[in-house]
Chains A and B, each alone.
Chain A
Amino acid sequence: MENNLDRVMEEICLDPAVLGCLFADQQGLCIGSKGQASNETSGYITAIANQVAKLEPNSKMPVVTLENENQICMIQKADTITGAIYKKL
């Protein structure tokens, strides 16, 4: 059923710099998460992606990055799915 998604997430986490990843649906509900990505954050991630998408509605979906000293969180939306990848800096 969700084996494909599990496999995709495993592949993403193969990269040693990747700390975790998360995918959420249109409502901000977590579809799947792996590594250091709390499924409780899926709502926030979806909300951020939706808000940013409103800035320039006619351009491609942007990649949002949230960054601190040692981590970066990339957020992007595609159709109804929002994805987030946490990486070491």
Chain B
Amino acid sequence: MGCCWSLLCKDDNSSQNGEPNERTHLLVDPISNNIHIQRVSSENLLSRNSNDAPKKTDEQSALTRILQETATNVIDVAAIDSHNLQQQEYIERVKMYNIKINQVLAGNKGALANSLKSCLLEDVPQPEKILSGDLLNREDRHLMTSSLLAAVSAINDIRVDHKEDLVVPFGLGLNS
């Protein structure tokens, strides 16, 4: 339930005074946190070995550098004091997200309804079952083709029966 869009969430996060919300990161930024921890340990290491011969200093600094580099690349999940979600909080968040979804849906009702309407055909769960079904039988096909041919010839026979004059003198009798 962490925020995937973490790059853009940084500003929001800071404005919330550290209070956990739906944009709170589950894992705190590991690099910035770990550098601090490891730097302390590497300093300890240096001070402990400061009595050694000076020729070892180069070796030591190299080791320190390696340690530091490793430390920056490791995410110590256990060491990070992350905000653990409790069962109750999950339920609360589910409710909150549902409310937000409904708000968005209510706002864009027209647009969403249109996009849903365009899906005229629905998904078929087992297409092979339908595709392997029987073909149209011979009688039905014959019925269809013969009916259509008869209908086509009947439709081609349609003619306008000319019974009356196309132009009718209208209301002339009253004027005369």
Residue positions of A touching B, CB distance < 8 A: 1-2, 4-5, 7-9, 11-12, 15, 18, 21, 23, 31, 63, 65, 72, 74, 76, 78-79, 81, 83, 85, 87
Contact = CB atoms under 8 A, between A and B. Distances in A.
Interface stretch (B17-25, B88-96, B103-111, B141-149): B141-149
Given A1-B158, A78-B148, 16 more contacts: A1-B159, A4-B153, A4-B154, A4-B157, A5-B151, A5-B158, A8-B154, A11-B147, A11-B150, A18-B143, A63-B145, A76-B145, A78-B149, A81-B151, A83-B144, A83-B148
Would you list the 3 A-B pairs with minimal beta carbon distance, nearest first? A4-B154, A5-B154, A83-B148
Contacts, number: 61
A31 to B, nearest CB: 6
Interface of B: 136, 140-141, 143-145, 147-155, 157-161
Contact of A23 (B136, B155, B157): B155
Contact of B147 (A4, A65, A85): A85
B125 to A, nearest CB: 16
A9 B151 contact: yes
Contacts of B144: 63, 74, 76, 83, 85
B152 A79 contact: yes
18 contacts: A1-B158, A1-B160, A4-B158, A5-B155, A5-B157, A7-B154, A11-B147, A31-B155, A65-B136, A74-B143, A76-B144, A78-B148, A78-B149, A79-B152, A83-B148, A83-B151, A85-B143, A85-B144
A11 B154 CA distance: 12
B102 to A, nearest CB: 34
